Amino acid sequence: MVRAPALAVIALLIASVPASARAQGADAPDEVDLKNGGMIRGTVVTVEPEREVVILVQGTGEARHVPWTEVAGVDRGKFTRPPPTTSAPVDGAVRIHVEADSPAVTLEQVTGGTGVRVTARPVCRAPCDQIVDARGPDRFFFAGEGLMASPRFHLAGHGGAVVLDVKAGSAARRAGGFAMAFIGGAGFIAGISMIALGAISTSPGAPPSTGLAVAGGVVGGVGLGLLVGGIVLVVKTRTTFAFRPPVLTF
């Protein structure tokens, strides 16, 4: 006959197993993937693009500061959300997988409005997998805090699954590009005006003013460089994306 104390110990051990399993999952809801192929599991505390990711390491509770240059991706809630299904639930639905170079990138679905004034709801934050109903006329775009919004697009006609690679564009850098272009354009016009003024300010038959011509050339050259650099910065800071088919594994 099994004694009562022994039964109590066995019951305690059985009851403790699921509790510990739940605690372990709660201690490590997130994962930080590293560019060297490694990963860190734990709880992400802060994500600061272009600076660092802070994560409380599973098991030790140590606050690990990972430089942004070493981060390949941040998957928040990876071990708390249910695994994705293997196929779209209805005809016309698209499984969309988003990969982005910034964890701030969010897939948005337009719910109303026209032109530049639209209302939208967030669908998921990169990196993510989501099944989206693509049967209607709904449009989608990518945005995020401190980022430029991408062009809008439709998901209809892309099959049952698609992968979107997103390159985030910084709103601050874009504003800086416009400022550079404005200052550069003004400087270029001022330089051309100085050269023209030097040519017409001299008396008939006398050579043009060398001082104004040289100063105008310098001002105009610097202005042109800023103008071109600003335009390039504006173009390169757009949020862009590219469709590609998913990789099938067997």
- Pairwise pLDDT comparison (245 vs 187), residue with the higher score: 187
Query: Token digits for 14?
Result: 């059985």
The model's pLDDT over 6-62, given as tens digits with 9 standing for 90+, comes to: 545 444 444 443 433 334 444 568 888 898 888 899 998 888 878 899 999 988 889
Interval 146-152 mean pLDDT: 88
pLDDT at 245: 72
pLDDT at 247: 55
User: Does 84 score more than 60 pLDDT?
Assistant: no
The model's pLDDT over 94-134, given as tens digits with 9 standing for 90+, comes to: 888 899 988 889 988 888 777 667 788 888 888 888 888 77
- CB 49 within 8 Å of CB 55: no
Query: Token digits for 48?
Result: 């600061």
pTM for the structure as a whole: 0.50
CA dist 212 and 148 (Å) reads 42
